[in-house]
Amino acid sequence: MPITDFLVINANNHKNEVALVEINPEMQGKSRQTWREYSLIETNPFNVGRSELTWGEFDKRANRFANLLLSRGIKKGDRVAILLMNGIEWLPIYFGILKTGALAVPLNYRYTAEEIKYCLKLSDSDVLVFGPEFTGRVEEIAHRIPDVKYTFYVGEDCPTFAESYDRLVTYCSSHAPGIEISDDDEAAVYFSSGTTGFPKAILHAHKSLVHAALTEQKHHSQGRDDVFLCIPPLYHTGAKMHWFGSLVAGSKAVLLKGTKPELIIKTASEEGCTIVWLLVPWAQDILDAIDSGEIDLSEYKLSQWRLMHIGAQPVPPSLIKRWLNIFPHHQYDTNYGLSESIGPGCVHLGVENVHKVGAIGKAGYGWEVKIVDENKNEVAKGEVGELAVKGPGVMLCYYKDEKATDEVLRDGWLYTGDMAQEDEDGFIFLVDRKKDVIISGGENLYPVQIEDFLRKHDKIKDVAVIGLPDARLGEIAAAIIEAKEGEELTEDDINDFCYDLPRYKRPRKLIFAKVPRNPTGKIEKPKLRQMYCGESLVASQNEINK
């Protein structure tokens, strides 16, 4: 069955029950001039903008957009790009695209105008749907995207170079378009994070999306009474595929526009959230706010909150131990995945394995995993190698990039580029990205291991370790350290703390600065290399010239 069938089932079985809630602090005291099926509820405990959508209206709205696309000649196999911030419109638009048999093409909201243009061209997109936050960027390239036949604007004050989505869909039929879709049909194009240059286009079929939904529900046991709090961006496979568990269960999800610790805790309390997916920085901020007294947990109702899970990045064990000290009744889980494996779940810790915090886990539901050497032969337990995964969620290909596809896909196996090792109990631990390994004086240094060690320091909020050029050793490990608010750190403090590390693993350069992370929580190491490698290259050259 295609992923759209789950929406139809929920619309039939739970028509008048709430599917989506949007909490938007920026809408405080404002009315929403948009779809007539729902409206802003202005009396709510947050004094912030709150809107909600039932499963029945969700399905109708998806049908209306599907029928609008079909009326413009968009057909099965065409591509429709989405450039929107999280909001209650996002998922109905996504499903409306899929109901036509077209492919959804979600775009990163941080893309520059040129990156938007690049991705539209690479994906062969026929339509662009965008929101007010992107008007300037889209206007900049509007005359240079001739292959995009239609541009729809979601929001008030539609610019002259686009058409109003809100106005047009109001007059479209809410009946299902009746396009036949199979599991094997192409469904979506996602983009890699672009850490090695411009992003690659990742092509997935409906069966990938369906397997992601089943995997998520299997791992976290979502039921009808669960309420999922979704904060990360929906353009990313991680957030959407975790929400797919709610789709399978027919349960409510809350889309929160904001990451302030108090807002997250208040939303979880007032909306009765039972499952919250966080990124590492947000979890750290919540714990810091509790420790400082900024958040008094006695003021909130959180007894129903049963699961906190984290994905999209390595998770410091010290963070989870700290979390469970404050929330001892919580289950904890972590999920590993890539956009190439349709997001989280191909490797999964499991709530029953909290004693293995630090590991990413074992093969997820319906998945196989192995760790291999440079010749693709499996390594022995305890040895470091490249992690490979195989299962129904593996991408079809990198669209229009056969060479890149052949580099990572072989006999159904996806070679992830992540270095990992398996312990004696069969649990997999991430060591680092293959390309991030630092070779210093012939020794392999794995930045994640050094980062995990440094995060144990009670004054460090965040840390990133990168390799910098060195005339004598080839590379050295440099640690970019972000101190907790109000705390001071010196090089002597860090050097003293690192005495417990083997000498070759100790950072040889310390930089006290903010650690940049992207919207999915991953450390932006290419940005750090751009910032700091230049001065290191100069220093290395001076050393050579001596």
pLDDT in tens, 468-485: 888 767 789 999 999 998
Mean of the pLDDT values across residues 195-206?
81
Instruction: Give, in order, the Cα–Cα distances in Å from 226 to each of 20, 295, 304, 369.
Output: 12, 24, 9, 30
pLDDT at residue 191 greater than cutoff 70: yes
* Cross-strand pairs, 363: 347
Q: What is the DSSP string of 452-504?
A: HHHTTSTTEEEEEEEEEEETTTEEEEEEEEEEPTT----HHHHHHHGGGS-GG
Q: What are phi and psi of 473, to 5 degrees?
A: -100, -5
With contact defined as beta carbons under 8 Å apart, do 393 and 429 qualify? no
Secondary structure in 3-state letters for 1-20: CCCHHHHHHHHHHCCCCEEE
What pLDDT digit, counting tens, does each position of 127-159 carry?
999 999 999 999 999 999 999 999 999 999 999
* Averaged pLDDT for residues 258-269: 95
Helix 90-99 to helix 4-13 angle (10° resolution) is 110
Q: Where are the domains of the chain?
A: 54-206, 441-545
Q: What is the DSSP letter of 517?
A: B
Overall CATH class of domain 54-206: alpha beta
Strongest mean pLDDT among 10-19, 438-447, 528-537: 10-19
Give the angle subtended at the CA of 90 by the CAs of 112 and 154, to the nearest 5°.
70
Q: Compute and round to an integer the Cα radius of gyration of the chain.
A: 24
448 within 8 A of 280, measured Cβ to Cβ: no
Higher-confidence residue: 446 or 227? 227
217, 231 contact by CB (below 8 A): no
Q: Are strands 397-398 and 307-311 parallel, antiparallel or unpaired?
A: unpaired
Report the chain's mean pLDDT, rounded to a whole number.
89
Query: What's the length of the chain?
Result: 546
CB within 8 A of 512, min separation 6: which ones?
480, 481, 482, 483, 489
How many whole angstroms separate alpha carbon 381 and alpha carbon 531? 38
pTM: 0.82
Q: Residue 485's pLDDT is what?
A: 87
Give which of 456, 454, 436 is closest to 446, Cα–Cα: 436
Please give the CATH number for the structural domain made up of 441-545: 3.30.300.30
Is 33's pLDDT higher than 50? no
User: What's the farthest any 2 CA atoms get from each other in the chain?
Assistant: 77
> What pLDDT does 520 receive?
66
Q: Evaluate whether 200 touches 191 at the Cβ level (below 8 Å).
A: yes
At a CB cut-off of 8 Å and minimum separation 6, what does 259 contact?
A: 231, 282, 285
Quick check: 56 and 37 in contact, CB under 8 A?
no
Q: Which helix (H) or strand (E) holds 114?
A: helix 113-122
Cβ proximity of 512 and 463 under 8 Å = no
Rounded to whole angstroms, the Cα distance separating 111 from 192 reads 12
Is residue 212 scored above 60 in pLDDT? yes
Which burial class, exposed, middle or buried, applies to 110 when counting CB atoms under 10 A from its CB (0-12, 13-18, 19+)? Answer: exposed
